Amino acid sequence: MAKKPTDFEAFIKMMEAAKCEVKHGKHISLRLEGQKGFVRLRSLGVDYSEDAILEIISGKRAVPKKRNITKVNEPCKLNLLIDIQNSIKAQNSPGYAQWSKIFNLKTAASTLIFLQENGLDDIDKLDRKAQQAKDNFNAISTRIQSIDVRLKDIVILQKHIGIYSKTRDVYTAYRKSGYSKKYLAEHGDDIAVHKTAKKYFDGLGLEKLPTINTLKTEYASLLAEKKKLYTELHDVCVRYQHRHKWR
C-alpha cells in the first residue's frame, strides 16, 4: 500500500517520484513523462486543486473515487496520485482535445443563437440586458424571501387561532367566575395559552381574526406564486449566463 503524504511538500515529492515534472508558480502545474505541456492541478477538477489536496491530506476531504482503475475489492492505494496522472493523460490525449473542441463549438453556437434571437448585436445592448437580468434577479429573490416570511407567519397565526378557539370557552368561564383562583388552578394551562394567543394577536394589531380557510387559501396562493417565481428566476439566470459566455 502506498504511503500517504504527510503534507503538500511530501505530496509533490511523491508526484516527482511518479515521473511527474512539477512547475511552481501561482498554481502548481504537472507534466507527465512524455507529455508536451503542463497541466494545472486546479484544471483537473474541484478535487485536485491545491486546497482540495491539502484537505485530503489532512483528512478533511474524502479521497476522490477511482475511475475504474482497479478491480472490485482490490486493496485501496493512494488513488489521488493515480487519478491525477490519469486526468493529466486525458487532457493531453487527442480524444480529449476533440471533445473539448466540439463542446466549445456547441457552447459558442448556443450563445450565438441566443444573441441573434434577442437582438444583442453590440456590447452596450448586452450590458443593458445583463443589468436588467440582474435587477430582475434581485427583485424576484426579494419577493421570494417575503413570501417565505409570510408563509411562516401564516403557520404561526393558524396555530394561535386554533389554540384561541379551543380555549375561548374556558377563558370566558374564568372571566365569569370573577377570575377565581380555584378555577385558575383547575384550568391554568388553557388559560395561559389563551392569553398568549391573545397577546400575539394584539402584537399584530389585528382588529378581527382571519378564518382558517382564508389563511389556507392565501397559503396555497403564495406557494403557487413562489413556484412560478422560481421558474422565472431560472430563466433570468440562463440569460445572465449567456451574457457572460459571450463576454
- Whether residue 88 is found in the same domain as residue 128: no
Residue 98 lies in a domain: no
Query: By three-state DSSP, how is residue 41 classified?
Result: helix
Q: Which residue range forms the structural domain that includes residue 207? A: 123-246
**pLDDT score for 152:** 95
- Whether residue 66 is found in the same domain as residue 143: no
Q: Report d(CA 200, CA 208) in Å as an integer.
A: 13
- Whether residue 84 is found in the same domain as residue 199: no
Residue 103 lies in a domain: no
Contact call for residues 191 and 170 (beta carbons, < 8 A): yes
- pTM (two decimals): 0.47
**pLDDT score for 103:** 57
- What band does 50 get if pLDDT is binned at 50, 70 and 90? confident
**pLDDT score for 203:** 92
- What band does 120 get if pLDDT is binned at 50, 70 and 90? low
- Whether residue 75 is found in the same domain as residue 139: no
**Count of other CB atoms within 10 angstroms of residue 194:** 23
Q: Which amino acid is at 158?
A: Q
- Whether residue 147 is found in the same domain as residue 241: yes
Query: Which position has the grid cell 493512494?
Result: 78
Split into its structural domains, the chain has a count of 2
Average pLDDT on 18-45 reads 75
Residue 205 lies in a domain: yes
Average pLDDT on 225-235 reads 86
Final residue before a domain boundary, out of 74, 92, 110? 92
Final residue before a domain boundary, out of 51, 72, 92? 92
